[in-house]
Amino acid sequence: MLRFIVILSCIFLIFTVSGVVFAAESPRLTVDQGDIPLVIKGTLDKETTSFSSNVRLRVMGGEIKDLQLLPSDLLNTDDDSVAIARSEITIPTGISLNDGQPRDVRVTVNNITRPGEYKGNLKFMVSGQRESKPLEIPLELNIDAEPNVVPISDNLNLQVVRCQNFISCGLATWLLPDGVVQDKWTVQLDNQTLIPVKLTDATVIMQGEKTGNHVNNNDLFFPVPKKELKAQKVEFIDLKINRNQLSPDRYQGTLRFKLENADEPLKVNANIAVREAPIFALIVIIAGIFVGRLAQDMESSNAQKQVKFYPRYVELRGNAANIKNESVFNYLEKQFQGVKLKIDKGEETEEVLEQELNRLEINVSFLTNLEILETKLNESELDALKARIKPQIKEARNSLIAGNIEQAQQLGKEIEQALREAQEDGSMGITDDIIQPLLDGFRASRDKLVETIQALALRPQLPGGSRWNWLAKFLAALSGVQTLNLEVRYWLIRPILWLVLLIVLVLLGLQTLYVNAGATFGVNGLYDYLGLFLWGLSADIANQGLRKLQSGGKGETN
């Protein structure tokens, strides 16, 4: 029994000493403090699904021939149901560590399919060592995703109008599509990534097609370029255009959005057409139409008659300007006003206007020669002749002013006879050259003047009527009575048709040259407005048929 106890004690002592020696010689693993926790970062894309990082280990008190890894599952910090299996976490096989020498061990996580932040633990141990004594360090896996952001529309086409007041902007809104006068626009970006994506910057690269001007940050910019695009959401990015600072042109280029973790910026093709406000275009078209009407009006018979007879009228008025007798001057002034009114209206025939000017010329000549004769008599010392002729001169003048042409003509003959008698008697030292042209002209034009006056007296006048007569006739027309007489046509139908035609021509010109073909109206400066002006100038030709209808088929414009 004693022998058995001694044997057991020896065996226990042997095993105790062996265990102490083994424990003293067992290697111990340590890790650099900078690798606690071990952080693995990366960006997930279509080609890269595995990510690695190195952990620096050191063994003390021995060597390790085969380092073993016992990882835990990696759980998503935002969603516990999302995990990466521990079988996907590996280190290279056959890793050996020498006593006291540090070594980087590469830890790899494979088959990552979803970005996010994951956490777990890594246990490093010596092959054959009990699991209760491993080196345990935390593992953090931070995986971003390559941004997958696409624009809702690859091409951004905008039309804006330069305007600064209510009238021009309101007219632009009425004529053009909605939004042409707004400064704020939006760009829609679809973030198809599983995680939020940060928009870090936005720039504009655009250039004018005709002017070559570049768009700078003061012309077109993003008020808040830095923002986060929510995962799998469509976000709106504000875009502000200072349209009044952009010169008219078609600006083409791209909008570039810088995304975090993206190698290339997101590009959106942009096309911005800038045009001038329509108010000036409208004014130019109207001016062109009016000039066109004036040009055509100058070809009418009325205008041709005015151009033909007005120079002679001016010449006669100049001849009468030197008459000093007040009653004669007032009489001739009324005569000139009457003739000018007939020339202005252009309603008389050329024959009638010719007769009026001839009559006026005869009166001016007769009265002027009477005044010259009277002046010369006053300057002479022939008192007896003065006493005889001056009453006749006065009576002849008054007879002509009163319209008694025959009596004036007879008195003229008597004056002529008295002068000839005085010349033959030698009592007057002048010749008959002063009075002879006057009497010859008066004698030659006497019969024609009478005929002209008679013709004018027999010429029919335009029908008169009260100012509101058109209303009565219009009411009569509603009752079925035909009342389209000259007054209704002249004072009502003609101006209404003209006004309607003018509005139609203006709107058609704006539609043709400004709305449809003028997305960059104003870029060519004066030439764009010149095109509108020429259109208005030539467009009035289209209404010749209507104007013939207004003027009774003669093709004249009154």
Q: What integer pLDDT is reported at residue 71 of this predicted model?
A: 93
In a shared domain, residues 314 and 436: yes
In a shared domain, residues 436 and 351: yes
User: 491-542: per-residue pLDDT in tens?
Assistant: 555 566 667 677 777 777 777 777 666 676 776 666 677 777 777 767 665 5
- Non-local CB neighbours of 72 within 8 Å, separated by 6+ positions: 86, 120, 121, 122, 123
pLDDT average, residue stretch 427-450: 45
Q: What integer pLDDT is reported at residue 74 of this predicted model?
A: 92
- Non-local CB neighbours of 162 within 8 Å, separated by 6+ positions: 243, 244, 246, 248, 274, 275, 276, 277, 522
Residue 66 confidence class, pLDDT cut points 50, 70, 90: confident
Distance between CA atoms of residues 92 and 294, nearest Å: 97
In a shared domain, residues 52 and 89: yes
- Quick count: other Cβ atoms within 10 Å of Cβ 194? 14
- Non-local CB neighbours of 244 within 8 Å, separated by 6+ positions: 162, 163, 164
Spell out where 94-196 has E strands: 103-109, 116-126, 135-145, 149-151, 155-162, 184-191
Q: What integer pLDDT is reported at residue 8 of this predicted model?
A: 59
- Let me know if residue 484 belongs to a domain: yes
Residue 106 confidence class, pLDDT cut points 50, 70, 90: very high
Residue predicted with more confidence, 335 or 110: 110
> Does the pLDDT value for residue 89 go beyond 90?
yes
Range of the domain at 178: 149-276
Distance between CA atoms of residues 484 and 262, nearest Å: 80
Q: What integer pLDDT is reported at residue 45 of this predicted model?
A: 77
Q: Considering only 241-245, 274-278, 287-291, 326-330, which range has the smallest mean pLDDT?
A: 287-291
pLDDT average, residue stretch 196-219: 86
Q: What integer pLDDT is reported at residue 376 of this predicted model?
A: 73
> Does the pLDDT value for residue 111 go beyond 50?
yes
Q: What integer pLDDT is reported at residue 365 of this predicted model?
A: 78
Residue 92 confidence class, pLDDT cut points 50, 70, 90: very high
To 5 degrees, how large is the angle CA 188–CA 193–CA 198? 65
For β-strands 149-151 and 249-259, DSSP reports them as unpaired
Q: Which among 57, 51, 157, 159 has a CA at the least distance from the CA of 99?
A: 57
- Let me know if residue 496 belongs to a domain: yes
- Let me know if residue 286 belongs to a domain: no
pLDDT average, residue stretch 387-395: 80
Residue 28 confidence class, pLDDT cut points 50, 70, 90: confident
In a shared domain, residues 249 and 131: no
Say what percent of the chain tops pLDDT 70.
Answer: 70
Q: What integer pLDDT is reported at residue 151 of this predicted model?
A: 92
Residue predicted with more confidence, 381 or 345: 345
**Of 458, 483, 510, which residue constitutes the final position of a domain?**
458
- Let me know if residue 111 belongs to a domain: yes
In a shared domain, residues 364 and 231: no
**Of 123, 145, 167, which residue constitutes the final position of a domain?**
145
**Of 405, 430, 458, which residue constitutes the final position of a domain?**
458
Residue predicted with more confidence, 369 or 331: 331
Distance between CA atoms of residues 189 and 257, nearest Å: 10
In a shared domain, residues 155 and 139: no
In a shared domain, residues 139 and 159: no
> Does the pLDDT value for residue 438 go beyond 50?
no
In a shared domain, residues 305 and 454: yes
Q: Which of 217-222's residues contact partners 24+ apart within 8 Å by CB, and which partners?
A: 218/242, 218/245, 219/245, 219/246, 220/246, 220/272
- For residue 47, the domain's CATH number is 2.60.40.10
Residue 13 confidence class, pLDDT cut points 50, 70, 90: low
- Let me know if residue 479 belongs to a domain: yes
- Let me know if residue 262 belongs to a domain: yes
The whole model's pTM is what?
Answer: 0.54
pLDDT average, residue stretch 371-394: 74
Domain count, the chain: 4
Q: Compute φ and ψ for 548, nearest 5 degrees.
A: -65, -40
In a shared domain, residues 380 and 508: no
Q: What integer pLDDT is reported at residue 392 of this predicted model?
A: 80
> How would you class 289 by CB atoms within 10 Å of its CB: exposed for 0-12, middle for 13-18, buried for 19 or more?
buried
For β-strands 249-259 and 266-276, DSSP reports them as antiparallel
In a shared domain, residues 76 and 128: yes
For the chain, give the mean pLDDT.
Answer: 75
In a shared domain, residues 454 and 477: no
> Does the pLDDT value for residue 556 go beyond 70?
no
Q: What integer pLDDT is reported at residue 437 of this predicted model?
A: 46
- Let me know if residue 374 belongs to a domain: yes
**Residue located via tokens 């370029």:** 225
Residue 7 confidence class, pLDDT cut points 50, 70, 90: low
Q: What integer pLDDT is reported at residue 464 of this predicted model?
A: 40
> Do 334 and 435 contact (CB within 8 A), yes or no?
no
> Does the pLDDT value for residue 429 go beyond 80?
no
> Do 184 and 240 contact (CB within 8 A), yes or no?
yes
- Let me know if residue 13 belongs to a domain: no
Helices H / strands E in the chain, number of each: 14, 19
Distance between CA atoms of residues 370 and 496, nearest Å: 53
In a shared domain, residues 377 and 427: yes
Q: Which residues on neighbouring strands pair with residue 145, listed in sequence order? A: 44
